[in-house]
Amino acid sequence: MHMYKGHARAYTNIALIKYWGKADQQLILPMNNSLSLTLDAFYTETSVTFSSEFSEDQFYLDHQLQDKKATDKISRFLDLIREKAQSQLFAKVDSQNFVPTAAGLASSASGLAALAGAASAALGLSLEEKELSRLARRGSGSACRSVYGGFAEWQKGDSDETSYAVPIVSNSFEDELSMIFVVVNDQQKDVSSRDGMQRTVETSAFYDGWLATVPQDLAKAHTAITDKDFQALGEVTEASALKMHGTTLAAAPPFTYWSAESMRAMNLVRQLRNQGLSCYFTMDAGPNVKILVQRKDEAALLGKLQEHFSADQLITAHAGPGIKITTKEVEA
Ligand code: ADP
Ligand code: DP6
Ligand code: CO
């Protein structure tokens, strides 16, 4: 019997306007639109083979066979694809993260986009970008944006059919930007993005305040991209992150993803900005800080950061490409 092996490489993306909260947990429909930049420095490579020889799904991450809990999560996602392709075959998933896993560096975005791409290709589905984005969304919300290179917007929609990401017309503004990652901790976080946002939606008194200002922040980001206005894009990026992180402090029980080191990095960004170096920070569900800077100022910023952080804590990224999928015919 002939089967296909699917392979995909997907790059991580960092949201400038954050996704924070679900309207539907099961379908992963978000409460608000989000806007991101796909990056070239971090990515996931995933291969998927389906075969009648397999009697269960197997999931290897970074060459380690994963336990039942992690594998069940993958199986539930593969079920969506099996249903679409009308297949009952089990799969072997072999994934490698070129990004720390579950550290707030968006491994779920590259990881689930790569899995969606590789598994759908392996079962012979050749999905259009929009369909692939919808599918990736079911694995991890942020993954729907990693289908595209450069800037993307996840349009929240109100159903499985209408919630997916689209590329943003940018006149290559993304090529004028750099993002420097200040990695203060690459270990797995205590509160996953999924649990953190759910707790916030359900209990935070600040959540309504967050939601209320997203449309205007999104509009500002769009205008800034159209006008290639770095300062405007930076300001709204930093504001969106601060508001998102503000909501967690009012959750019950309260929590924060910030550490003392995160604060140190954020304060340094403010200080450098006061000294005339135009740069802005953002943070996700984890303590690591990402700094948006114009490419022309990248070296100057890196020089300043090196006075405070070691070289191996600083990773420079530029705009990255969309997902790359390949298939190979194999005996199965
Ligand atoms: P992050 O900040 O890294 O996105 P999340 O809490 O959003 O952290 O998601 C981490 C989870 O994403 C992991 O526990 C795992 O379930 C999933 N994940 C990460 N990388 C992969 C991968 N390569 N393949 C499949 N699932 C992955
Ligand atoms: C703070 O996409 O990781 O990084 O949909 O539950 O898998 P799930 O969560 P995930 O959440 C990302 C949250 C964020 C902001 C963002 O990427 O937009
Ligand atoms: Co994630």
CA 285 to ligand 3 centroid distance, Å: 8
Taken as a whole, the chain contains a residue count of 332
Please name the residue that has the structure tokens 């604060």: 263
pLDDT for the residue numbered 331: 66
Q: Residue 128 — φ and ψ, nearest 5°?
A: -70, 160
Query: Does residue 329 carry a pLDDT above 80?
Result: no
What's the whole-number mean pLDDT along residues 239-266?
98
- If pLDDT is split at 50, 70 and 90, which confidence band does 48 have? very high
Listed residues: CB within 5 A of ion ligand 3: 108, 193
Separation between Cα atoms, residue 287 and residue 289, nearest integer Å? 7
Q: Each residue of 62-97: pLDDT tens digit?
A: 999 999 999 999 999 999 999 999 999 999 999 999
Beta carbon of 101 within 6 Å of any ligand 1 atom: yes
- If pLDDT is split at 50, 70 and 90, which confidence band does 4 have? confident
Lowest pLDDT segment from 49-53, 276-280, 296-300, 315-319? 49-53
Closest CA to 316 of 38, 36, 39: 39
Burial class (CB in 10 A: 0-12, 13-18, 19+), 111: buried
CA 107 to ligand 1 centroid distance, Å: 5
Domains and CATH numbers, the chain: 1-331 (3.30.230.10)
ipTM surpassing 0.85: yes
Task: List, in order, residues 6 or more apart from 147 with CB less than 8 Å away.
Answer: 10, 113, 117, 129, 132, 133, 136, 165, 322, 323
At 96, the amino acid letter reads Q
What string of H, E and C letters represents the secondary structure of the chain? Answer: CEEEEEEEEEEEEEEEECCCCEEECCCCEECCCEEEEEEEEEEEEEEEEEECCCCCCEEEECCEECCHHHHHHHHHHHHHHHHHHCCCCEEEEEEEEECCCCCCCCHHHHHHHHHHHHHHHHCCCCCCHHHHHHHHHHHCHHHHHHHCCCEEEEECCCCCCCCEEEECCCCCHHHHEEEEEECCCCCCCCCCHHHHHHHHHHHCCCHHHHHHHHHHHHHHHHHHHHHCCHHHHHHHHHHHHHHHHHHHHCCCCCCCCCCHHHHHHHHHHHHHHHCCCCEEEEECCCCCEEEEEEHHHHHHHHHHHHCCCCHHHEEEECECCCCEEEEEEEEC
Closest CA to 43 of 194, 192, 154, 149: 149
Report the mean per-residue pLDDT for the chain: 97
Whole-angstrom distance between the N-terminal and C-terminal Cα of the chain? 6
Q: Each residue of 122-147: pLDDT tens digit?
A: 999 999 999 999 999 999 999 999 99
Beta carbon of 193 within 6 Å of any ligand 1 atom: yes
pLDDT for the residue numbered 13: 98
Please name the residue that has the structure tokens 């969106």: 240
pLDDT for the residue numbered 60: 98
**pTM over cut 0.80:** yes
Instruction: Name which residue sits closest to atom 8 of ligand 2, judged by CA.
Output: 140
Q: Which residues pair with 188 in a beta bridge?
A: none
The ligand whose atoms approach the alpha carbon of 154 most closely is 2
Question: Could you tell me what percent of the chain has a pLDDT over 90?
Answer: 97
Query: Does residue 2 carry a pLDDT above 60?
Result: no
Contact 121, 147 (CB under 8 A): no
Separation between Cα atoms, residue 163 and residue 153, nearest integer Å? 11
- If pLDDT is split at 50, 70 and 90, which confidence band does 1 have? low
Closest CA to 50 of 111, 1, 114: 1
CA 182 to ligand 3 centroid distance, Å: 18
At 224, the amino acid letter reads A
